[in-house]
Amino acid sequence: MHIVVCIKQVPEIERVKVDSGTGKVIVPEDSSMINPFDEYAIEEALRIKEKHGGTVTVLTMGPASAAEALRSALALGADEAVHLMDPAFDGSDAAATATLLAAGIGKLDKVSLVLFGRNAVDTDASSVPGYVAGRLNWPQVLFVRKFVELSADKSKVERMTEDGYDTCEIPLPGVVSVVKEINEPRLPSLKGKMRAKKAPIATFSAAALGVDTAKVGPNSPTTIVRSQPPPTRKKGEILEGEPDDVAAKLFDKLRADQII
């Protein structure tokens, strides 16, 4: 079984700042890492491989620095890494990214399953997995917490919902995004790290992928009108005193603010 895990290199969110004057997002250069949710997708792919055999390919679209994310995945045990990289891809939105990833998956040998993390912590959109499934015309199940059954041509999974879970069965090939409840990701081993440093990474440019650059990168359908930092939270107020008094004060305040 050939499993592809789509990963994204993201900045350490707590170190990202937005210049409130220019609206420009400032990302420190040394702050890149694999999107934490993608680590669960990598782990699940490795576990499936260990149980059923097969190969795991990690796939990303991003600038040259994104190769580091691929190497991190190789250190964990992925077999192959594929990097979609072209200046024409810079600035791609979710829809354009999905077009590129789907084209990349199309270049790979007999893919049975495409895994994603539930969302990227930088954009928080959770939209790429669905777009990719659409581009490939494959079935999708998002927010999966468990693979119940898996065979060459179908899979039964549990999808998290707000109040429980659904059991879904899909034919393969298919697209699945996973939640962090699915497993506990492993850490890289010394051997894995050494192997990853020297492993080849296949790169595909726009020409190699055969994609129309008129719809990706700066030509993505999304237009960013304005960026601004999230509003700072107002300082909280701590009511002190005996519980009865505090409850009364709280009630008065909530009433005054017309919350109750």
Partner 1 sequence: MNFELTEDQLAVQEVAREFAEKKLKPRAEEFDTEARFDMDLLREMGELGFLGIIIPEEYGGGGMDAVSYMIAAEELTRGCASHAAAVGLSNSLYGYPLLTYGTEEQKKKYLPGVCAGEKVGAFALTEPGAGSDAAGLSTTFKKTDNGYILNGTKIFITMGAVADNVIVFATSKKGSGPRGISAFLVDKDAPGYEIGTIEKKMGLKASPTTELIFSDCVIPQENLLGKEGHGFRIAMSTLDGGRISCGAMGVGLAQEAFNIAVKYSKEREQFGKPIAALQAIQFHLAEMSIMIENARNLVYKAAWKKDQGQDYSLEAAQAKLYASEISTKVTHKAIQVLGGYGYIREYQVERMYRDARVTELFEGTSEIQKLVIARYLLK
Binding site for partner 1 (CB under 8 A): 75, 187-191, 193-194, 197
Nearest to partner 1 of 31, 222 (CB atom): 31
- Give min distance, CB of 192 to partner 1, in A: 8
Nearest to partner 1 of 103, 196 (CB atom): 196
For residues 30, 194, 72, 211, the Cα torsion angle rounded to the nearest 10 degrees is 100
Number of H helices, E strands in the chain: 7, 13
Q: In DSSP terms, which residues pair with 114 in a beta bridge?
A: 4, 175
Q: Determine the distance from the C-alpha atom of residue 136 to the mean position of all C-alpha atoms in its chain, rounded to a whole number.
A: 18
Nearest to partner 1 of 39, 44 (CB atom): 39
- Give min distance, CB of 1 to partner 1, in A: 24
- Give min distance, CB of 199 to partner 1, in A: 13
**Would you tell me how many other CB atoms lie within 10 Å of the CB of residue 258?**
6
- Give min distance, CB of 196 to partner 1, in A: 9
Nearest to partner 1 of 48, 76 (CB atom): 76
In this structure, what token pair is assigned to residue 12?
């350490």
Pairing type for strands 140-150 and 174-178 reads parallel
